[in-house]
Structure 1
Amino acid sequence: MSAAPAIVLVSEHHTDDLQDAFGRYQREYDVRCARSCAEAEEVSREVVAGGGTVAMYVAESVLPDCHVLEAFHRWRGVVPNARRMIAAHWDRFLADAPGLRAGMAKGKYDAYLLMPRGTRDEEFHHAVTDLLSDWGATIAEPEVVSAKIISPVRDGRVLAIRDFLDRMGMASRVYHPDDPVARHLLGDPAEGADPPAYPLVWAPERPVVEDATVRTVAMSLYGAPSDLDVTGTVDVCVVGGGPAGLATAVYAASEGLSCVVLEAEAIGGQAGTSSMIRNYLGFPRGISGMRLAQRARNQALRFGTRFVTGWTVHGLVPGDAERPHLVRTDGGDVAARAVVVSTGVAYRKLRVEPLEQLVGSGVFYGAAMTAAREMEDQDVVVVGGGNSAGQAAVHLSRFARSVTVLVRRPGLAETMSQYLVGEIAYNPRITVATCSEVVDGGGDGRLEWIEVRDTRDGTLHRREVGGLFLLLGAEPQCDWLPAEVARDDRGFVLTGRDVPKERWHDGLPPANLATTVPGVFAAGDIRAGSMKRVAAASGEGASVVPLVHQWLAP
C-alpha cells in the first residue's frame, strides 16, 4: 500500500493551533508540522524520498526565514502539484491580506483563509476539502476509481476512453491483464475460450464493455438516444453539453419544459477540459471546468433533464407548425418542438501531415487532461495564445519538466486574460516563445521532435519534445445543420440582427438568439459574434429559454 499523502503545516508560533484544526485529516493523510520554510522544504524532500507526495501546504501568512510567497515557490520546486493555502492568524488576517491577495490571482497560491478559532469551523474545512478534491482529480493515479480499464497497451483508444471518463467526473485507472486487480475482475477463463478483446472497461453496476470505444463506454453508462423513454415530442432538444447547453437545460427544465441534451463527447465541452477557471463568478478560489460542468449537469438532472453522451448529431430536419423538428443521430432520432444549437467550436487543425499522423501518440488537440498525467519529466509544447492554452500550460507544469507556450503573436496580452499571463510569468517551469510556429515533427511511432520556424526571419530550429498540445482557435461544429439555417462565411450560426435582411420574416429580424428557422435557436461559441468565454456562454444559455417559451406559447 502506498504511503498516505502528506499535509504540511508551517507556522513559527501557531503549529499547535493548526495541528488541532487538521486533526480530522490524520486518519487518511500524513499531517506534518514545520516552523519555517527551510524545515518544510526538508520535510517535503523526506516525504518524496520515501515514495510519498505532498497534497497540500498550509502556511501562516508570516514565516521566520522568508516571505510566504517565496516559500511556496521553493516548495513548488519539490512538489509541483501540491495545493497551497495561507491560513492567517486572526491577529494578522486583515493587515496581511492586501499584500497577499494579488498573488492568488497569479497562481502563486490557492486560498487565503482565516485560521480556525475553534472546533467545527466548517467554512474553513469546506475550502480545505475542495482543494484536496481538486488535488485528487489531477494526480497521476487516483486513490478512488469509478472505472477500471484493462488493456495490455496504453494506446490512443485507451487514452481517449480515460479522457472521456475523467471529463465525466469518473476517476479511472488502467490495469495490465496480468495485474491482480484485472485477474480478479476477469475471473478464471473458461477452457478453450477466446481471449477477451481489449480494452475492457469495468464500472460498478454495469456489464463489462469489450473492445471498448468512447461511444460504447458512453452507451453502457448513459444509454443511446433510442433508449430515451420519451412519449411523443420533447419541448426542447439541446445539441451540445457545454456551458451554454447546460445553462439552457437547467433553466428550461426548472421552468417545467421537457428537455433532452445530446452531447457528442463529454459534458462540459471545451470548458470541461480547463484545469482551473479562476474568473468565473461565484468561485473565488477557482473551479475546474470538469467540476463546473458536472455540478451543472447534476443540477439539470434534478429538474428532470435527460442526457445522452457520446452520440454525434448528424442532421436536423426542420419542422413547422404541424410537425416537430427531428434531430438525427446514429443511435436514433429525437423529436422536439424547439431546438437549441450549442455545439461550440473545435480546435483548428495544424495541418502538418507528419504531426497529424501522431495525434493520440504525443500530439493532442485540446488540453487532454489525461495525457497531461503521462508527461512526467517530459518537455512539452503548448501551441495557442488563448485562455484554454494558458490553463493547459499551467496544468501541464504540474507534471512536465518544462512547458513552452508557442504563439505566432509578439506576446500573450492581446488574447489571454491578464490573470493567466501573470500566472504563466510567475511559473518557473513555463516559458513563452513568441513569433513562432510549428512546421514539422516526427518520431518512431510517437512524437519525439518538432521543428519550429521564427516568423520574423524564417529561421528553423528543432526541439526534442515529449508532447505537443494544440489549442489553435475556433472552428464551428455545425456542418450537420441544413441550409435553411443561415451561417456566416466562417460557418458560425447567424442570429438576430446579424441575419441578412433578405432572410428576415415579414420585414422583421429574428429574435436575438433565434436563427433563420423558426423554433431553432443558437447559444454560446457556435453563434456568430459570441464572446467565447464560459460566463458569456452560460448567460446566453439562460437567455435563450424565454425565447423558447415564446415560441412554444399557443
Structure 2
Amino acid sequence: MGAPAIVIASAHHADVLAEAFARYEREYDVRLVGDELTARATAKELMGSGHQVALFVIDSDHDQDTLHALIGGTRKVVPTARRVIVSHISRFRADNADFRAAVAAGKVDALLLMPQGPRDEEFHGAIGEMLNEWNATVAAPVIENVRIITPEKDALTRELLDYLGRVGMPAGVHHPDSEIGRAVMENCPEDEGRWPVVSSLVGWCGHCPSVRALANQLYGRPDDIELDEVVDLVVVGAGPAGLAASVYASSEGLSTVCLEAEAIGGQAGTSSMIRNYLGFPRGISGMRLAQRARGQALRFGTRFFTGWPATGISPCEDGDHHIVHTEGGDVHARSVLIATGVDYRRLGVDSLEELVGRGVYYGAAMQAARELAGDHVVIVGGGNSAGQAAIHAARFASQVTIVVRRRDLTATMSSYLINEVEWNPRITVRGSTRVVDGGPDEVSHLAWLDLEDVDTGSRERVEARGLFLLLGAAPECGWLPDAVELDAKGFVLTGRDISREHWHDDVPPADLATTLRGIFAIGDIRSGSMKRVASATGEGASVVSLVHSWLAG
C-alpha cells in the first residue's frame, strides 16, 4: 500500500495550494485536480490501487453546484477521509456565512482561510489536527508501539486493541507464522501456544491474559509507592473529572496519585469526536483530550497507576488519613477523591451477552468499527456518546441504525449531534424501539437482531454485524464504605443533598464533600451531576480548593 493521499480540488488557486501543501509531499501523495469529475476519478483510482485518501481540500472558488457535488461526492467515494473547504481572503466572510451550517452538520470538517504566505502555521495547525485524527482512527499504524501475536483475532484481542486505541498507543495484530510474529516469538518462546502474546517496544514480551495485565505492564502497580509515604490526594478514576483534579491538585503542590481501573480517559476516551468542548473549534477526540490532560498532570507530578480498580477505603489505625485498597497494593492518602464515573448498563439479553467481543460491544469500541466496513451496524442509546459512535461507525459501515426507546433524540442528545445524524445519509434513527434478541452466524459472530416496537410489540428481524450498546449510567459504588451515603439510584450524595442527620451543627458539608470527612466526589458518579465532559472537568478543578481547606485542618 502506497502513501495516503491528499487530494486538492481548485479551479483558480492551484498554485497557492500546491505551494502550501509541498511540505506534506514527503509523507503523503499530494494530488492536485481542477474539477469535481477529476477529483472523484482520482479518488477511485487511488482506492483501486490500494492507496487511502486521508484528506480532500476543496477550494470554494468553484460554482455552487460543482462545490456541493465535490462535498457530497467525496464523502460517497471515501467516507473515511476528512474534508476541508479553503476560502480565498476575498470571499472568506461570505463563505463563512454560507458554509457555517455545513460545518455544523458535519458535511465538511472545517472551513479554513487559504494560506496567506509561507509558514501560515494557523492553517497548517488545523490541517495537522485533521491528519492526526485520521491517522489515529482510520489508518493502519506505521510504527507499532505494541504488537499482538495471535492466530485469530478473538474477543480478548479486540479488547486489547480497543484499550490500546483509547490510550493512544499504536498497535498491530500479527499471525505467529508471519515474519513479525516469528521475530517476536523468538524473544518469548516459552509462551508459544498461550495466545495472545504481546510485545512492546519498551522491551517486555509475553502472554497477556487480560486488559488489566496489559495496563499493569504499561503503567505499573500501586504497590510501587513507598509504603511509608502518605500522599496528599488520591484520585480514584481518570476520566475528565479525575484528570482535571489531578492537573489542578499537582500544579498547586499537592502530592497526587491517580488510580484508574481501565483506560485513562474513562468513557469520554471512547468518543471519536467531541465538538462542543471549549477551545477546540474543530473538535477533539476523547482519546486526544485524555492523553493531553494526562501529559499535563504528569508534568506537574501526578503519578498514574492503571489496571487496578479500587476495592475499598478504610481509616488508618492512627486515624489521621485514609487507605485506598486495590488488589495490587494500598495507597495511603490524607484525602480521597471519588471520580470513578459510571459503567454502561447491561442490555440483559442472554443471547447477545454471549456474543460480547464478537460483534457485540459495550461502549463505542472505535477499533471494532474499522472491521465493519460495508456492514450494517446498530447503536443502542440516545445520548451524546451514542451519536458520536454512530457518526464514527458511518465512516466504515454501509448502514447505521440508532435504536432508542424514546420517540426521538431531542430529549437526550445535543443539537449539533442531532444535526450531524440527520444529515448523514448512512444513519437512520428508529425511535420507540428496543433490541430484544440476536444470534450468531456459523463462526459465532453476530449476524442478526430482533427489534421490537415498544408501543405495539411488533418485531422485525434485521441483519447486523455490529451492535454497540451505550445504555446510560450504571454507578458502581460497592467498593465504598457504608458510611458514604448514596441516593436511591446508587450515586454518591454530596453537599446539601446529604441527609440532614449527617450535617454538623446544622451546617451541610461542602458542595463536593461526602458524608465521610476528607472524602470528596465529582463527575458522573456524583448524584445530580450534569453528565457532560465540561461539567466534569469544572468539578475536578473546583474540588481542589476544598481539598486544600481539608488539608489545612
TM-score, structure 1 length as denominator? 0.97
Deviations 1:355-407 (CA, angstroms, capped at 9, x unpaired): 11111111111101111111111101000000000000000011111100011
Q: Does 1:8 align with 2:46?
A: no
Which residue among 251, 260, 265 is the counterpart of 2:262?
Answer: 265
Residues of 2 paired with 1:374 and 1:75: CA distance?
21
> Deviation at 1:506?
2.2
Specify the alignment match of 1:97 in structure 2. 96
Q: Is the CA contact (8 Å cut-off) linking 1:387 and 1:416 kept in structure 2? A: yes
Tell me the SS of whatever aligns to 1:187: helix
Q: Is the CA contact (8 Å cut-off) linking 2:448 and 2:461 kept in structure 1? A: yes
- The amino acid across from 1:181 in the alignment is I
Q: Does 1:145 align with 2:136?
A: no
Deviations 1:55-92 (CA, angstroms, capped at 9, x unpaired): 00111123247253442221111111101111111111
Specify the alignment match of 1:222 in structure 2. 219
Specify the alignment match of 2:18 in structure 1. 19
Residues of 2 paired with 1:72 and 1:318: CA distance?
61
Specify the alignment match of 2:495 in structure 1. 496
- The amino acid across from 1:116 in the alignment is P
Residues of 2 paired with 1:205 and 1:179: CA distance?
21
> Deviation at 1:351?
0.3
Which residue among 388, 395, 399 is the counterpart of 1:402?
Answer: 399
Residues of 2 paired with 1:104 and 1:91: CA distance?
20
Deviations 1:451-501 (CA, angstroms, capped at 9, x unpaired): 010112111110110010000111112211011000001000000000011
- The amino acid across from 2:115 in the alignment is P
Residues of 1 paired with 2:208 and 2:421: CA distance?
41
- The amino acid across from 1:16 in the alignment is D
Q: Is the CA contact (8 Å cut-off) linking 2:165 and 2:367 kept in structure 1? A: yes
> Deviation at 1:209?
2.7
Tell me the SS of whatever aligns to 2:249: helix
> Deviation at 1:198?
1.4
Residues of 1 paired with 2:325 and 2:291: CA distance?
25
Worse-matched range after superposition: 464-473 or 228-237: 228-237
> Deviation at 1:113?
1.1
Tell me the SS of whatever aligns to 2:509: coil
Q: Is the CA contact (8 Å cut-off) linking 2:188 and 2:206 kept in structure 1? A: no
> Deviation at 1:542?
0.4
Residues of 1 paired with 2:70 and 2:547: CA distance?
54
> 1:408–1:544: structure 2 CA closer, same or farther, 3 Å change rule?
same
> Deviation at 1:537?
0.2
Specify the alignment match of 1:446 in structure 2. 445
Q: Spell out the pairing of 1:406-445 with structure 2 (5 A cutoff).
A: 406-444=403-441, 445=444
Specify the alignment match of 1:236 in structure 2. 233
> 1:110–1:64: structure 2 CA closer, same or farther, 3 Å change rule?
same
Residues of 2 paired with 1:383 and 1:251: CA distance?
36
Specify the alignment match of 2:361 in structure 1. 364
Q: Is the CA contact (8 Å cut-off) linking 1:12 and 1:64 kept in structure 2? A: no
Tell me the SS of whatever aligns to 2:206: coil
> 1:35–1:330: structure 2 CA closer, same or farther, 3 Å change rule?
same
Q: Does 1:481 align with 2:475?
A: no
Residues of 1 paired with 2:325 and 2:372: CA distance?
39
- The amino acid across from 1:453 in the alignment is E
Q: Does 1:374 align with 2:371?
A: yes
- The amino acid across from 2:452 in the alignment is R
> 1:230–1:242: structure 2 CA closer, same or farther, 3 Å change rule?
farther
Residues of 2 paired with 1:212 and 1:232: CA distance?
32
Q: Does 1:521 align with 2:520?
A: yes
- The amino acid across from 2:122 in the alignment is E
Specify the alignment match of 2:160 in structure 1. 161
- The amino acid across from 1:149 in the alignment is I
Residues of 1 paired with 2:17 and 2:192: CA distance?
55
Residues of 2 paired with 1:189 and 1:205: CA distance?
15
Q: Is the CA contact (8 Å cut-off) linking 2:243 and 2:294 kept in structure 1? A: yes
Q: Does 1:252 align with 2:249?
A: yes
Deviations 1:89-108 (CA, angstroms, capped at 9, x unpaired): 11111121111122111111
Specify the alignment match of 1:329 in structure 2. 326
Q: Spell out the pairing of 1:263-412 with structure 2 (5 A cutoff).
A: 263-318=260-315, 322-412=319-409
- The amino acid across from 1:480 in the alignment is W
Residues of 2 paired with 1:229 and 1:35: CA distance?
65
> 1:92–1:517: structure 2 CA closer, same or farther, 3 Å change rule?
same
Deviations 1:118-149 (CA, angstroms, capped at 9, x unpaired): 11111111111111000000115222321111
Residues of 1 paired with 2:504 and 2:72: CA distance?
61
> 1:230–1:287: structure 2 CA closer, same or farther, 3 Å change rule?
farther
Tell me the SS of whatever aligns to 2:169: coil
Tell me the SS of whatever aligns to 2:446: coil
> 1:43–1:414: structure 2 CA closer, same or farther, 3 Å change rule?
same
- The amino acid across from 2:540 in the alignment is G
Deviations 1:304-351 (CA, angstroms, capped at 9, x unpaired): 000001111111114598331111100001011000000001111110
Q: Is the CA contact (8 Å cut-off) linking 1:361 and 1:446 kept in structure 2? A: yes
Q: Is the CA contact (8 Å cut-off) linking 1:401 and 1:429 kept in structure 2? A: yes
Tell me the SS of whatever aligns to 2:207: coil
> 1:243–1:468: structure 2 CA closer, same or farther, 3 Å change rule?
same
Specify the alignment match of 2:83 in structure 1. 84
Specify the alignment match of 2:106 in structure 1. 107
Residues of 1 paired with 2:225 and 2:41: CA distance?
57
Aligned length: 551
> 1:351–1:94: structure 2 CA closer, same or farther, 3 Å change rule?
same
Specify the alignment match of 2:179 in structure 1. 180
TM-score, structure 2 length as denominator? 0.97
Q: How high is the sequence identity, in percent, across the aligned residues? A: 55
> 1:38–1:200: structure 2 CA closer, same or farther, 3 Å change rule?
same
Residues of 2 paired with 1:131 and 1:63: CA distance?
23
Residues of 2 paired with 1:64 and 1:38: CA distance?
14
**Stretches of structure 1 lacking an aligned partner (at least 5 in a row):** none
> 1:219–1:13: structure 2 CA closer, same or farther, 3 Å change rule?
same
Worse-matched range after superposition: 200-209 or 429-438: 200-209
RMSD, aligned α-carbons: 1.5
Specify the alignment match of 2:547 in structure 1. 548
Q: Spell out the pairing of 1:187-198 with structure 2 (5 A cutoff).
A: 187=186, 195-198=192-195
Tell me the SS of whatever aligns to 2:312: strand
> 1:211–1:96: structure 2 CA closer, same or farther, 3 Å change rule?
closer
> Deviation at 1:186?
2.3
Deviations 1:237-276 (CA, angstroms, capped at 9, x unpaired): 0000000000000000000000000000000001000000
Deviations 1:270-293 (CA, angstroms, capped at 9, x unpaired): 100000000000000000000000
- The amino acid across from 2:387 in the alignment is G
Q: Is the CA contact (8 Å cut-off) linking 2:188 and 2:205 kept in structure 1? A: no
- The amino acid across from 1:73 in the alignment is G
